[in-house]
Amino acid sequence: MKRSSLKHLKNLLSLIFDEALRLECIDAAKGNPVRLVKVPKQAPAADETCSYDLRDVETMLAVLPEPAATVCAVAAFAGLRRSELRGVRWEDYDGDQIKVKRSVWEAFTNPPKTKRSKASVPVIARLRAILAAHKLACGNPVAGPMFANGKGNPANLNNLLSRTILPVLNRCGICRKAKLAHTAESSHEYVRDGSLPEWHGFHSFRRGLGSTLYALGVDDLMISGFLDTRT
């Protein structure tokens, strides 16, 4: 585990033991044992953060099938978090704005991460056209998850990533087939297609939100408003 993750776990455990001491569930004379714990010096540092620029985004939108392309478009042009992408519903979108009302993680539905996140996000013209096409393909629903599975529940983005996004972005530059399609019997070794951007996670869309909108010619004041609610 990364050093930052271990520090977060240590802090969490320390809070748990503090609460246990307050409730007299453990011997107060022994104190909080977590305070004696040290994060190993050999624990690896966190990976360098990455962000997608407009060229990366446009390339992904050109090669990814639906609904993966629209999911990435909302992440790139509206800055929604991964959990917010799962939580967004058609009734939250009025054609001009997306109202961020909930966050869905696994089987749990919660309010947005911060108070500032619980706000209306402007939808630029580029994204408006993409959402219009997506809505038409879904049968013009007026309610329900914007990205739904076959049962009408919020789609599992882990499945979307492993089954659609990664196979497309990690295709072979020689035969243009997915990496998993290459076996010992293949006529050549897998060589990743360098013309496609590497996947660095949904959060990389948020990190590049400001530069992406600027490259699209979005007004500086509007970009400032985006960043105020998306950070």
The residue assigned the tokens 């099938």 is: 65
Residue type, 140: N
DSSP state of 178: B
192 or 30, which is more confident: 192
pLDDT band for position 215 (50/70/90)?
very high
pLDDT digits (tens, 9 = 90+) for 33-59: 998 889 888 888 866 678 999 999 999
Measured distance CA(171)–CA(160) in Å, rounded:
16
Measured distance CA(190)–CA(76) in Å, rounded:
29
Q: Which two tokens stand for residue 165?
A: 């996004």
Q: What pLDDT shows up at residue 5?
A: 87
pLDDT digits (tens, 9 = 90+) for 56-99: 999 999 999 999 999 999 999 999 999 999 999 999 999 999 99
Cβ distance 141 to 131 under 8 Å? no
3-state class of 93 per DSSP?
strand
pTM: 0.77
Q: What pLDDT shows up at residue 203?
A: 92
Q: Which two tokens stand for residue 65?
A: 């099938």
pLDDT digits (tens, 9 = 90+) for 108-167: 888 877 666 677 899 999 999 999 999 999 999 999 999 999 999 999 999 999 999 999
**pLDDT surpassing 70 at residue 230:** no
Q: What pLDDT shows up at residue 180?
A: 85
Q: Of 27, 49, 38, nearest to 3 (Cα)?
A: 38
Measured distance CA(1)–CA(181) in Å, rounded:
30
The CATH number given to 54-169+196-230 is 1.10.443.10
Q: Helices then strands (H, E): number in the chain?
A: 10, 4
- Dihedral over alpha carbons 36, 39, 41, 43 (to 10 degrees): 160
Domain regions of the chain by residue span:
3-36, 54-169+196-230
**pLDDT surpassing 80 at residue 211:** yes
